[in-house]
Chain A
Amino acid sequence: MNVQTQVRRAGAASTKIAIADCDIHPCVGSPRELDPYLAKRWQQEFATFGSRFRHAFSGGPQYPKGQPDAHRRDARPPSGAKGGSDLGFMREQHLIPNDVRLGILNPLSPSGQGFQNPEFSAAYCTAMNDWQKYNWAEKEPRLKASVLVPYEDGAASAAEIRRRAGDPAFVQVLLLSRSAEPLGQRRYWPIYEAAAECGLPVAVHAFGYGGTPITGGGWPSYYIEEVSGHAQCCQALLTSMVIEGIFERFPGLKVVMVEAGFAWLPPLAWRMDKHWMRLRQETPHLKRKPSECIRDHVWIATQPMEEPDRPEFLRDTFEWIGWDRLLFATDYPHWDFDDPAQAIRIKLSPEERLGLFYNNAAELYGQPLQ
């Protein structure tokens, strides 16, 4: 006789608290929405040549998604507009029922990031930053924006960061994980310098258009491998950041890993410590163990939530990362959305719950604690 596995998740649901959602994806409903912020020259560029990434397709991703636009199917507003494009519907479906007190906006493609044309990339990013500010953050006090930067151009990125610094609408800088070179490399250092100087954390979100195969042995066939592959990409880029010494060079820098899961982080840190120690001669600029750099400088969002078949393994992982480094995120409106009332299958203490669901993010992003 089949017994329904309707597990009552006592953790988040029992005493509701307001949450921080560290990964929300607003999107442009139609390209026209960006016109007030984008110079005519670039409006025409978009209309004539399109966005052009380092893969084949002019519209649509390299690996076709599992659901249309990778959205949960119920995220389409009644108007028929794209999921994530309607603030009113987002409030109704997500912000209010889930009591999102702090929501971090991470706009994805097309955002300007990864465009082959560096000037176009910079112009589009700036326009999208204005769009986030005026169409979202200033209309909805719960929501905070990310400074989109044309990250392949370090200097242009630093300029954009400094332009937005001090504006309370913006709480972090956003990069994508699959850059042209590993993100610890020198060409990206101006980004970290500016971000650290301006007191803005740098979030690295899964995906990107660097053009490198998502494995060191070439291109996999399937979307399922791309999704799973984000964990490997984030391990590699975090390795690059640590080994290249950006945390030594920019001691005030904070990095947030978003949408690549989190359980890979402790074994990565163990492996890094072991082999870095053996090969230390190669990296005289590193003064601390990799695991210490990670502890001191790296936060990690919880989406997609890990689902070990024995839930106590999840507690191990949270402990090994550190309860103060975990940031709850839903990834709304994407299909692999984590529902705050359902996603965590273990009982959390009130302190653990408050940190993971809100205060860690509030502290990181300079917002009042609960």
Chain B
Amino acid sequence: MAEPYRGCVDCDIHPSVPSIKALLPYMPDFWHDTVVQRGIKALDTISYPQNAPISGRPDWRVEGRKTASSVEDVQQQLLDAWGADYAICNPLYGVQALLNVDMGAAFAQAVNDWLVKEWLDRDERLRASIVIPMQAPDLAVEEINRCAKDPRFVQVLMLVNGEMPLGRRFYWPIYATAERHGLPVGIHAGSSYHHPVTPVGWPSYYTEDYLAQSQAFQSQLASLICEGVFTKYPALHVVLMESGFTWLPSFLWRLDKVWRGLRMEVPWVHALPSEIVRKNVRLTLQPIDAPPTAEQLNRVMDQLESDRLLLFSTDYPHWHFDGTAAMPEGLSPELARRILVDNPRATYSRLGGQA
């Protein structure tokens, strides 16, 4: 079974914080006592209700513990079973949603330290994104500088829906710091919920929330481009994670078109948006959000006009496919290898680094 995945890089997995208690050993006394005496129970967000079908594939759920909360489960279900060389951990825990920025920073630091001790130290294949309090870029910069010393941190993690669109100058200290360290910025589905989660207001259903993530990626990508983040930080790479990608061609046709007529509003954008994306942006594979036929999916992949864009991911433990059917059908071996191995290794230059 392990072929063709043997040697792959899984660019999006989600070890879960088993409970807030697990973070307490990694918090300074003041925050430790704050959590305990104020009764702060959990920071899991509504982005992934624990028992919702998407949140955990049935065969990856284990009786008596949170899905993906144990290293042994992840090793057995994923790393050993799939033969991955590396898997990049993107912990999803609501530190970015806290309005008290100091508390957000404290929790970010605790999650990162917990991840190192409980995960990275226990399996050489694991790598991680640095969780940052993106709501406070100055504090986020401190956390990036702190964690970047450990070469097993290969990326900076942000959520797609923050305080303001991600291209805005408010966030630039984060991009400057990431670029300086040679770290891609990974933007993952999810929200701080400081604004209605869809661009037309608060939805009624979780289904809508999850579906709205692809629109969020479109707007945030537009922001990164139009605000000139890639002009200011030309060496910065951005990875969109759990974003889907079949929306990308149509989105780029439109943004290219409007830019031709409105270039003068954003004169620091020096190239077609689609060219900027092909150079500086990558997307993880799952969920594929595929059309009904393999032929149509291949057509969409042609429309991407680049074989460098996609990075293999399972999005473990989220349920997007069954068994090991993670890759699109009918890809050439060359393209499959690009997605599984070459593109991730080209994007994450730190992958080989050991503690």
User: Is A368 among interface residues, defined by CB-CB distance under 8 A?
Assistant: no
Which of A223, A233, A244, A276 sits near B199, CB closer than 8 Å? A233
Is B191 in contact with A227, judged by CB distance below 8 angstroms? no
- Looking at A35-43, A101-109, A158-166, A208-216, the stretch in contact with chain B turns out to be A208-216
A interface footprint on B196-210 (CB within 8 Å = 1, 0 otherwise): 111111111111101
By a CB distance below 8 angstroms, the chain A residues around B201 are 179-182, 210, 212
CB interface residues, A 290-336, toward B, < 8 Å = 304, 306-310, 313, 316-317, 320, 335-336
Q: Is B143 an interface residue (CB 8 A)?
A: no
Contact B253 A220 (CB under 8 A): no
* A258 nearest CB across to chain B (Å): 15
A217 within 8 A of B: yes
Q: Which of A205-260 contact B (CB under 8 A)?
A: 210, 212-225, 227-229, 231-233, 235-237, 239-240, 243-244
CA gap between A310 and B250 in the complex, in Å: 12
Contacting A272 at CB < 8 Å: which of B52, B211, B216, B258?
Answer: B211
Our pick among A227, A243, A308 for the contact of B303 (Cβ within 8 Å) is: A308
Are B163 and A218 neighbours in the complex by a CB distance under 8 Å?
yes
A236 contacts across to B, CB distance below 8 A = 198-200, 208, 212, 215
Given contacts A66-B262, A307-B257, contact A278 B250 (CB under 8 A): no
In Å, the complex CA distance between A316 and B300 comes to 9
Contact of A313 with B303 at beta-carbon distance under 8 Å, contacts A215-B199, A220-B165, A308-B249 already known: yes
Stretch in B37-45, B102-110, B218-226, B336-344 with 4+ CB within 8 Å of A: B218-226
- Say whether A9 faces chain B, with CB atoms less than 8 Å apart: no
Docked-complex contact A66 and B198, CB < 8 angstroms: no
Q: How far is A100 from B52 in the complex, measured between Cα atoms in Å?
A: 52
Q: Report the nearest A residue to B215, measured CB to CB.
A: A232
Say if the beta carbon of A147 comes within 8 Å of chain B: no
- B226 near A240: Cβ-Cβ < 8 Å: no
A279 within 8 A of B: yes
A225 in complex: contacting residue of B208, B219, B249, CB < 8 Å: B219
Quick one: closest B residue to A262, CB to CB? B250
**Cβ-defined contact, A179 with B200, below 8 A:** yes
The answer to whether A239 and B195 touch across the interface, beta carbons within 8 angstroms, is no
User: Across the interface, do B291 and A320 meet the contact criterion of CB distance under 8 Å?
Assistant: yes
Complex interface: stretch among A10-18, A190-198, A263-271: A263-271
Most buried by B among A310, A313, A320: A313
State the total of A-B contacts with C-beta under 8 angstroms: 242
Is A154 an interface position by the 8 A CB rule? no
Query: B194 contacts which chain A residues (CB < 8 A)?
Result: 218
Is A274 within 8 A of B287, CB to CB? Answer: yes
Which chain A positions have C-beta within 8 A of B246? Answer: 267, 270-271
Give me the interface of A with B, judged by CB distance under 8 Å: 66, 177-185, 210, 212-225, 227-229, 231-233, 235-237, 239-240, 243-244, 261, 263-264, 266-268, 270-272, 274-276, 278-279, 281-283, 304, 306-310, 313, 316-317, 320, 335-336
Q: What are 27 A-B pairs with beta-carbon distances under 8 A?
A: A66-B265, A183-B200, A212-B200, A215-B165, A215-B195, A215-B223, A216-B219, A217-B164, A217-B166, A217-B223, A222-B226, A225-B165, A228-B254, A231-B251, A231-B254, A243-B203, A243-B208, A264-B254, A266-B250, A267-B246, A267-B289, A267-B291, A271-B244, A271-B246, A274-B320, A279-B52, A282-B206
| With A221-B227, A320-B296 already in contact, 6 other A-B pairs whose C-beta atoms are closer than 8 Å | A66-B265, A219-B164, A224-B222, A232-B199, A244-B204, A272-B211
* B contacts, CB < 8 Å to A: 52-54, 160-168, 191, 194-208, 210-212, 214-216, 218-220, 222-223, 226-227, 244, 246-247, 249-251, 253-259, 261-262, 265-266, 287, 289-292, 296, 299-300, 303, 305, 319-320
| Chain A to chain B: the 7 pairs with minimum beta-carbon distance, closest first | A263-B250, A215-B219, A218-B164, A217-B161, A271-B289, A232-B215, A236-B198
